[in-house]
């Protein structure tokens, strides 16, 4: 065998070198896989793995006819990653400034600073201690429209990118502001339907765990876990935008004319309890809620209490008729100033005009305080109190948007000697405008008190109805026959009572005026009033209930009677509703219609 | 019987090895192809999802725009700026009648064309209440 050309030493050296290389590789692998494993995994995860949260779209709020009252719209927050900025893109900055509607100098300043910070950060990134201080996002503009963002991306400025956010917008601005409420800048639903129906509206965010490439694009094939986003449900209210607009417009007229402290108008359907419109003055713009004073954000219809005044006389009259202790023709002496009651001579309240003998029908029509007091005395405190409770006073109406107060209705044991003469005319009791409205609705609904309905249905993100809300009966206040009689008595308010002159021929308007002196510093004052009118029509088959309540109307002369302040507004709203809701008259007028003469007078 | 020449066995082994190589190569290439398909499908579906989300976002934007335009206050403003003079009808302008207005108008037109008898008019179908609103009100 021939001797090899290499010496044994050389062979050994090569073998050792090769082994050393293998050993080096082995040691490195041990370091990579065992010793530095956790740190390296952390780094890899940070560099490649990502969890992308998909924001759920908040459901919309719609009116009864499907018009949008509140919706979510996406906006882009545009920012820049200082470390990715490229000096060659400087030429695109002026165009970007134009698109972002920023002064050119301001944007250039921000971008140049960012670039400097980026370079510094890149240098610092070599120092582990400063690794966490790297700035990767500098905000340039908020609420950039999608179209504008598309144009910005077309500029291909390196490092400039956007993050999408949903923002709540309210197409009607002030329309139904107190009903809808708003979501604040932190995304917290603060008031109204937004707050109380948040559970339906908010939806559930989804998330995706996956990996990204060097350009931060998702590598969809490496998705390991995915929780799908669940968009919020849409909430359909019973509010009708057109009716709401009508009453808000009416409130503006009232506000301009009388400069009240607050005013409320409510319109509802008596047979379902559905609220078609609920508006308060002062109002505010939902898209600029941050500028609205807190007072303007109060839903006075449920948060404020007033003495209902003469509108409360429906309790005494309804109860007395329902108990069968009087008929509409029963006569009472309303000229007397005091009366013997339970062995005590009680002073009767004053009247606005002198009366003598009045029937129950006249007591209602002419709003006699003494007549109402005598009706209550005839049935006694317990019966009167029981009926007041049945009408819903002193308790929650279970309004679905919450925030309501219960009002004040003391038990008879807490009444003083005069309460039985004062409460029937709507003093010594406090109620929210909605309570008064629902009490009148009970009369219009055959004596059945319903829960006020503001929610119509809930729809999922695909538009399928997932829940509907049916009318809810709360109490049978009056027998249907009594309610029908009382409705006719309330119609007489228009034909010969306190609202005479405001009737609409053929439509049997019915209702009750109310004028209450305000209590200032614990005393009734004669120059400040709550004026109200609560009514419905047509009296024989009620289709709509309207309440107009004006607190502290400033009159140029005279007293702010319900007749002067609230009844004209009631009539004006009724005229519009007749056309809009196509309410047919009970008797079709045969003459006087322009159309029958081809539009000629 | 003579045993097979030794190179036949080697040939068989070589052939089998080659087959195995081709088979495993095909499997490997197939796996790569499947992986590539998964990758491209995932990316395509991701692109579609993004597009869908984009369309939905834009749809929301359009819906919001439509809602703003259809707001009663906006419509009234437009009525003023475009000088359309549109107004809600007043009760005095409305005549209520029995039967369908379309049928009545059709009967009227046909009567003019074909001189139909009044008997035909009476036998026309009657639907619920309808109302006719005059076009103008001074």
* pLDDT, tens digit, 9 for 90 and up, residues A341-381: 988 999 999 888 888 899 999 999 999 999 999 999 999 99
CATH of A53-83+96-126+137-211+230-237, one of 3.90.1310.10, 3.30.230.10, 3.40.50.620, 3.40.50.12500: 3.90.1310.10
Residue A15 has pLDDT above 60, yes or no: yes
Instruction: Select the residue of B42, B64, B136 nearest A71 (Cβ to Cβ).
Output: B64
- Residue B138 domain flag: no
Residue B67 and residue B97 in one domain: no
B11 and B30, same domain (yes or no): yes
Q: Which of A233-242, A331-340, A510-519, A555-564 has the lowest mean pLDDT?
A: A555-564
Asked if residue B54 and residue B25 are part of one domain, the reply reads: yes
Tokens of A470: 């049916």
Mean pLDDT of chain A: 89
Q: Is the pLDDT of residue B138 over 70?
A: no
The answer to whether the peptide bond before residue A469 is cis (omega within 30 degrees of 0) is no
- Interchain contact, B67 vs A67, CB within 8 Å: yes
The answer to whether the Cβ–Cβ distance between B96 and A242 falls below 8 Å is no
User: Do residues A424 and A372 make contact, with C-beta atoms less than 8 angstroms apart?
Assistant: yes
For A545, phi and psi rounded to 5 degrees?
-115, 135
Is the model more confident about A208 or about B6?
A208
CB neighbours (10 Å) of residue A215? 6
B134/A598 touch (CB, cutoff 8 Å), yes or no? yes
Residue that wins the pLDDT comparison between B61 and A126:
B61
Q: List the structure tokens of A293.
A: 């004073």
User: Is residue A550 over pLDDT 50?
Assistant: yes
Task: In chain A, list all ranges with CATH 3.40.710.10.
Answer: 241-286+305-461+472-580
Do both B7 and B44 map to the same domain?
A: yes
Q: From B70, which residue of chain A is nearest by alpha-carbon distance?
A: A67
Name the CATH superfamily housing domain A241-286+305-461+472-580. DD-peptidase/beta-lactamase superfamily (3.40.710.10)
pLDDT of residue A233: 96
Chain B contact present for A103, CB below 8 A: no
Residue finishing a domain among B48, B71, B86: B86
Does residue B120 fall inside a structural domain? Answer: yes
Residue A599, pLDDT above cutoff 50: no
| Phi (first) and psi of residue A501, to 5 degrees | 100, -10
CB of A155 less than 8 A from some CB of B: no
A241 chain-B contacts, CB cut-off 8 A: 71-72
Which of A293-302, A545-554, A585-594 comes out lowest in average pLDDT?
A585-594
pLDDT at B104: 82
- Pick among B58, B60, B66 to test the A interface (most A CBs inside 10 A): B60
Name every residue whose Cβ is closer than 8 Å to that of residue B126 and which is 6 or more positions away in sequence: B98, B99, B100
CA distance A168 to A59: 10
Whether residue B96 is contained in a domain is answered as: yes
User: According to CATH, where is 3.90.1310.10 located in chain A?
Assistant: 53-83+96-126+137-211+230-237
The reply to whether B71 falls in a domain is yes
Residue A393 — very low, low, confident or very high, per pLDDT cuts 50/70/90? Answer: very high
B137·A599 Cβ contact <8 A: yes
Residues B64, B91 share a domain: no
Cα distance between residue A440 and residue A548, in whole Å? 12
B109: domain range? 87-133
How many residues comprise chain B? 138
Estimate the share of chain A in helix, then strand, then coil, as percent rounded to the nearest 5. Answer: 40, 25, 35
Average pLDDT over residues A150-160: 86
- Token pair listed for A357: 């003998």
The yes-or-no verdict on residue B115 having pLDDT over 70 is no
Reply yes or no on whether the pLDDT at B36 is more than 80.
yes
The token duo for A298 is 């109060």
Residue A127: pLDDT band (50, 70, 90) is low
Number of domains in chain B: 2
Domain match, B93 and B71 both: no
Segment A276-290 mean pLDDT: 95
* B75 and B13 inside one domain: yes
Task: Please indicate whether residue A115 or residue A104 has the higher confidence score (pLDDT).
Answer: A104
- Asked if residues A346 and A417 have their Cβ atoms less than 8 Å apart, the reply is yes
What pLDDT, on a 0 to 100 scale, did the predictor assign at position A5? 60
User: According to the model, what pLDDT value does residue B132 have?
Assistant: 54
Give Cβ neighbours of residue B8 (< 8 Å, ≥ 6 apart).
Answer: none
């Amino acid at each position: 065998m021939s001797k090899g050309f290499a010496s044994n030493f050389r062979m050994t050296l090569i073998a050792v070198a090769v082994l050393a290389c293998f050993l080096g590789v082995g040691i490195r692998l041990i370091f990579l896989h065992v010793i530095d494993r956790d740190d390296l995994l952390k780094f890899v995860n940070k560099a490649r793995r990502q969890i992308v949260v998909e924001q759920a779209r908040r459901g919309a709020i719609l009116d009864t006819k499907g018009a949008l009252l509140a919706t979510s719209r996406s906006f882009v927050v545009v920012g820049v990653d200082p470390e990715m900025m490229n000096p060659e893109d400087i030429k695109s900055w002026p165009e970007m400034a134009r698109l972002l509607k920023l002064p050119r100098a301001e944007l250039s300043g921000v971008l140049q600073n960012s670039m400097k910070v980026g370079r510094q950060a890149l240098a610092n990134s070599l120092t582990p201690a400063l690794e966490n201080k790297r700035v990767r996002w500098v905000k340039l503009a908020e609420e950039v429209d999608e179209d504008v963002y598309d144009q910005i991306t077309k500029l291909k400025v390196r490092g400039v990118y956007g993050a999408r956010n949903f923002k709540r917008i309210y197409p009607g601005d002030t329309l139904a502001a107190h009903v809808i409420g708003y979501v604040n800048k932190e995304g917290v639903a603060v008031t109204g339907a937004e707050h109380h129906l948040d559970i339906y509206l908010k939806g559930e965010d989804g998330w995706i765990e996956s990996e990204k490439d060097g350009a931060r694009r998702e590598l969809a094939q490496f998705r390991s876990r995915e929780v799908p986003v669940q968009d919020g449900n849409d909430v359909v209210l019973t509010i009708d935008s057109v009716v709401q607009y009508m009453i808000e417009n009416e409130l503006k007229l009232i506000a301009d004319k009388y400069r009240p402290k607050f005013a409320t108008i409510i319109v509802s359907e008596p047979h379902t309890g559905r609220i078609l419109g609920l508006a308060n003055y002062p109002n505010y713009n939902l898209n600029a809620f941050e500028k609205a004073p807190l007072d303007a954000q109060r839903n006075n219809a449920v948060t404020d209490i007033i003495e209902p005044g003469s509108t409360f006389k429906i309790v005494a009259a309804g109860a007395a008729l329902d108990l069968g202790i009087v008929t509409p023709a029963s006569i009472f002496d309303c000229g007397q100033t005091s009366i013997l009651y339970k062995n005590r001579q009680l002073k009767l309240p004053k009247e606005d005009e002198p009366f003598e003998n009045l029937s129950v029908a006249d007591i209602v029509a002419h709003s006699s305080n003494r007549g109402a007091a005598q009706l209550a005395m005839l049935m006694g405190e317990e019966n009167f109190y029981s009926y007041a409770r049945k009408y819903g006073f002193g308790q929650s109406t279970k309004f679905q948007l919450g925030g309501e107060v219960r009002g004040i209705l003391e038990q008879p044991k807490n009444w003083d000697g005069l309460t039985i003469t004062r409460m029937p005319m709507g003093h010594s009791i406090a109620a929210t405008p909605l309570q008064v409205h629902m009490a009148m609705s009970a009369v219009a609904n055959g004596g059945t008190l319903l829960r006020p309905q503001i929610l119509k249905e809930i729809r999922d993100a695909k538009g399928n109805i997932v829940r509907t809300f049916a009318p809810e009966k709360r109490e049978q206040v009056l027998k249907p026959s009594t309610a029908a009689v009382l409705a006719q008595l309330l119609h007489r308010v228009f034909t010969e009572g306190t609202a005479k002159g405001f009737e609409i021929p053929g439509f049997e308007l019915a209702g009750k005026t109310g004028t209450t002196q305000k209590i200032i510093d614990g005393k009734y004052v004669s120059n400040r009033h709550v004026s109200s009118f609560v009514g419905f029509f047509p009296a024989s088959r009620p289709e709509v209930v309207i309440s107009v309540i004006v607190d502290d109307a400033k009159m140029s002369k005279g007293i702010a009677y319900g007749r002067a302040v609230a009844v004209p507004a009631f009539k004006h709203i009724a005229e519009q509703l007749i056309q809009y809701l196509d309410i047919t008259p009970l008797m079709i007028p045969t003459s006087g219609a322009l159309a029958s003469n081809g539009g000629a007078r | 019987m003579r045993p097979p020449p030794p190179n036949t066995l080697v040939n068989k082994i070589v052939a089998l090895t080659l087959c195995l190589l081709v088979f495993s190569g095909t499997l490997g290439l197939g796996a790569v192809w499947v992986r590539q398909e998964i990758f491209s499908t995932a990316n395509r579906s991701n692109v579609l999802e993004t597009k869908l989300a984009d369309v939905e976002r834009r749809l929301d934007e359009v819906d919001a725009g439509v809602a703003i335009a259809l707001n009663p206050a906006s419509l009234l403003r437009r009525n003023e700026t475009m000088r359309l003079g549109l107004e809600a009808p007043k009760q005095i302008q409305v005549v209520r009648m029995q039967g369908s207005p379309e049928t009545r108008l059709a009967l009227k037109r046909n009567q003019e064309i074909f001189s139909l008898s009044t008997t035909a008019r009476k036998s026309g179908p009657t639907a619920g209440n309808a109302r006719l609103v005059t076009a103008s009100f001074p």
